[in-house]
């Protein structure tokens, strides 16, 4: 027996709706799945070796040394690493500070490109010129 036109239309409508929902789920789910896969995968060069040593061991990035409590940094003699340990001062600004030496007073550091009053206010109690 051949199905009537109404029955066939209902069946096709149901199939179309089902396909639309599947496609919408696929379209919405793929970016999310891709993002989750990127977060959970580890680059092959970062995979630790079974013994935890060797070339494949995970390496942490080098961090600037921290200042001891109450320690002051002499901006005329300090190393690039010591200057970079100051708040808001990275390697590039530390190099610019070194290039601008000598300084006669701590406020002179504001003559360095990228170091304005806000940065100076953060570091003024941590620097000296003596």
pLDDT in tens, 47-92: 555 555 555 445 544 555 678 888 999 999 999 999 999 999 999 9
What is the pLDDT at residue 46? 52
Would you give the end-to-end CA distance of the chain in angstroms? 103
How do beta strands 127-128 and 73-74 pair? parallel
Domains of the chain by residue range? 5-37, 73-128
Q: What CATH number matches the domain at 73-128, 1.10.150.320, 2.130.10.10, 3.50.50.60, 3.20.20.100?
A: 1.10.150.320
**Range with the poorest average pLDDT among 25-29, 82-86, 103-107, 126-130:** 25-29
């Amino acid at each position: 027996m051949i199905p009537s036109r109404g029955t066939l239309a209902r069946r096709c409508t149901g199939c179309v709706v089902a396909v639309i929902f599947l496609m919408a789920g696929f379209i919405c789910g793929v970016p999310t799945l891709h993002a989750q896969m990127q977060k959970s995968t580890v680059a092959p060069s970062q995979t630790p070796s079974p013994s935890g040593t060797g070339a494949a061991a995970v390496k942490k990035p080098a961090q600037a040394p921290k200042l001891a409590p109450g320690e002051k940094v002499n901006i005329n003699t300090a190393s690039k690493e010591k200057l970079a340990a100051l708040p808001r001062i990275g390697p590039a600004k530390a190099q610019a500070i070194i290039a601008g030496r000598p300084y006669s007073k701590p406020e002179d550091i504001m003559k360095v490109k990228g170091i304005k009053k806000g940065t100076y206010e953060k570091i003024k109690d941590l620097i000296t010129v003596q």
